[in-house]
């Protein structure tokens, strides 16, 4: 259903948010872009020199077949990931997430698969493998579906993955596509029971009349097997596409957000959820903004925040009312009229929102900038960082090739002192909040030798460029870093570039 929006000044585009409400994600729209002058680019970003630990590839369907035929799945998958270069659209990584200890790293792809990597244990003989990750488990999380009532295809693409804190030997994680959230249990098994009384060695039931003695079953060692089993399926609660999931600090509930609504779930109840935010107007022609991202406060289970396509952030308190349509705090930066342009509404749309680990600040990412907001100051951000301001003159061509609708994520480091986010040409940016230094690094296949030191990159805007600089006209907009993750306690980062997963770490002197 196409919407009639006379108030909009933008031309219709298949990727423009409000022209594809029922069938696509809603995104972009209107607020300020004015910020301080770009920070000086210096190496290190206050966090030392970064080196490449390893480059991994998401396993293709061919790889999954080879894994089933081999007992030692991690060995064959690991060698395949490092050496194989074949990739399809389904292999493109769509989300990256460390667990709470940083020992596991999960990726989801457009093919609906989840690949979990485990960190190698350090040893005196293999110090060089510090921080290296290898394949731990691979499973199909979502399958393509078809909604016959709406004649709508539902993609299997994994939109988000969120880990639950580990309570026992098993690991639990949430994964979601556009419509359905699943809770997965990932566990290890290295023993199997033998000596059943009612079953034979093949597993067939025995005739009770032939049983003359009773045996005590025993556990026998077996090759390590990692099993992923779906424990809960949370479905049929979203009319529009899910863009965010967030686990509450009470670890009993989580929320899922789509373009117009946010639902609160209990982990034990799959057939019922509570609608806590609903911004759908009675007349859809009056729709002016959509929800783009949402997250719970890291410490207060009653507080959450969600961002909109208008560049605004709303902080809500579930103690105030059951339906949080009235926000507790409203964060918006006044727009600078001198920066107003045809594309202002699109580039001001917030694509990601993250609480700091301390819970004191909120970080948001729009198309050109990363902003840090103090929860006690609603009228403007306390920090604004230009990610790729040199693209401001390229907005027209970026609009024509739909890159202007790309949704970049942003992450904090473990101490909230450094911010990381992605850009084009496989560049990703780091901003040190203490020293005000920033650095541009590249996740490049050409520089993928293990332990290779990353050289800072600079983009040249004018006609003259230095030897180490790259012209803005030479940037490859098909190569983009949308998804990144930072280890919760160490300087280890994961950067997703198409079907490549790069692991970098801060070089230890």
The pLDDT of residue 195 is: 77
Q: What is the mean pLDDT of residues 331-335?
A: 90
The pLDDT of residue 53 is: 81
**DSSP state letter for 507:** P
pLDDT digit string (tens) for 163-176?
999 999 999 999 99
Instruction: Report the share of the chain in percent with pLDDT over 90.
Output: 58
**Chain centre to alpha carbon of residue 118:** 18
Which range has the top average pLDDT, 42-51, 63-72, 224-233, 309-318?
309-318
Question: What is the Rg, in whole angstroms, of the alpha carbon atoms belonging to the chain?
Answer: 24
The pLDDT of residue 6 is: 31
Q: Which residue has the tokens 């969120």?
A: 162
Q: What is the mean pLDDT of residues 412-439?
A: 94
* Phi, psi of 127, rounded to the nearest 5 degrees: -65, -30
Asked whether residue 22 carries a pLDDT value surpassing 70, the answer given is no
* Phi, psi of 319, rounded to the nearest 5 degrees: -75, -20
Instruction: Report the share of the chain in percent with pLDDT over 70.
Output: 82
Which range has the top average pLDDT, 59-73, 179-193, 476-490?
476-490
Q: Rounded to whole angstroms, how far apart are CA atoms 409 and 419?
A: 11
Q: Which domains does the chain have, with CATH numbers?
A: 50-63+90-206+216-506 (2.130.10.10)
- Beta pairing partners, 372: 363, 383
Q: Flag the least confident range among 189-203, 230-244, 494-508.
A: 189-203
Tell me the pLDDT band of 182, cut-offs 50, 70 and 90: very high
Tell me the pLDDT band of 2, cut-offs 50, 70 and 90: very low
Question: pTM to 2 decimals?
Answer: 0.82
pLDDT digit string (tens) for 337-387?
877 888 889 999 999 999 999 999 999 999 999 999 999 999 999 999 999
Asked whether residue 16 carries a pLDDT value surpassing 70, the answer given is no
Higher-confidence residue of 126 and 187: namely 187
Evaluate whether 497 touches 43 at the Cβ level (below 8 Å). Answer: no
Tell me the pLDDT band of 312, cut-offs 50, 70 and 90: very high
Let me know if 25 is exposed, middle or buried by CB neighbors in 10 A (0-12, 13-18, 19+).
buried
Let me know if 293 is exposed, middle or buried by CB neighbors in 10 A (0-12, 13-18, 19+).
buried
Q: Which residue has the tokens 């403007």?
A: 380
The closest of 332, 331, 251, 243 to 294, measured between CA atoms, is 243
């Amino acid at each position: 259903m196409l919407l009639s929006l006379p108030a909009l000044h933008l031309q219709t585009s298949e990727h423009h948010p409000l022209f594809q409400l029922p069938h696509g994600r809603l995104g972009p729209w209107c607020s300020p872009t004015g910020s301080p002058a770009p920070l000086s680019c210096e190496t290190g970003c206050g966090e030392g020199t970064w080196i490449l630990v390893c480059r991994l590839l998401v396993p293709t369907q061919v790889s999954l077949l080879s894994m089933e035929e081999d007992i030692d799945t991690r060995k064959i998958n690991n060698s395949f990931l490092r050496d194989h270069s074949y990739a399809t659209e389904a292999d493109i990584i769509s989300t990256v997430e460390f667990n709470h200890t940083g020992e596991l790293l999960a990726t989801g792809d457009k093919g609906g698969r989840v690949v979990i990597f485990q960190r190698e244990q350090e040893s005196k003989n293999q110090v060089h493998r510090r921080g290296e990750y290898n394949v731990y488990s691979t499973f199909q999380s979502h399958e393509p579906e078809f909604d016959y009532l709406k004649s709508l295809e539902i993609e299997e693409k994994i939109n988000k993955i969120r880990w639950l804190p580990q309570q026992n030997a098993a690991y639990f994680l949430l994964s979601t596509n556009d419509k359905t959230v699943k809770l997965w249990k990932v566990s290890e098994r290295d023993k199997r029971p033998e000596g059943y009384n009612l079953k034979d060695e093949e597993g067939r039931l025995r005739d009770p009349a032939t049983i003359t003695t009773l045996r005590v079953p025993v556990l026998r060692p077996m090759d390590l097997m990692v099993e992923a089993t779906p424990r809960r399926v949370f479905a049929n609660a979203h009319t529009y596409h899910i863009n965010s999931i967030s686990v509450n600090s009470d670890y009993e509930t989580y929320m899922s957000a789509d373009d117009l609504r946010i639902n609160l779930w209990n982990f034990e109840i799959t057939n019922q959820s509570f609608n806590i935010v609903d911004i759908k107007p009675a007349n859809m022609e009056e729709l002016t903004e959509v929800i783009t991202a949402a997250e719970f406060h890291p410490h207060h289970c009653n507080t959450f925040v969600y961002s909109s396509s208008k560049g605004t952030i709303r902080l809500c308190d579930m103690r105030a009312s059951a339906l949080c349509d009235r926000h507790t705090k409203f964060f918006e930066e006044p727009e600078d009229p001198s920066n107003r342009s045809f594309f202002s509404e699109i580039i001001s749309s917030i694509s990601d929102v993250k609480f700091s680990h301390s819970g004191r600040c909120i970080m948001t990412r729009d198309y050109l900038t990363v902003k840090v907001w103090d929860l006690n100051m609603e009228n403007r951000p306390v920090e604004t960082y230009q990610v790729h301001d040199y693209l401001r003159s390229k907005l027209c061509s970026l609009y024509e090739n739909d890159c202007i609708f790309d949704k970049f994520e942003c992450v904090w480091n473990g101490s909230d002192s450094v911010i990381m986010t992605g850009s084009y040409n496989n560049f990703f940016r780091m901003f040190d909040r203490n020293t005000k230094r920033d650095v541009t690094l590249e996740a490049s296949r050409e520089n993928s030798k293990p332990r290779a030191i990353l050289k800072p990159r600079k983009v040249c805007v004018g006609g003259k460029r230095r030897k180490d600089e790259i012209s803005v006209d030479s940037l490859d907009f098909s190569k983009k870093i949308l998804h990144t993750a930072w280890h919760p306690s160490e300087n280890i980062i994961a950067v997703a570039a198409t079907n490549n997963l790069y692991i970098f770490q801060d070089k230890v002197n």
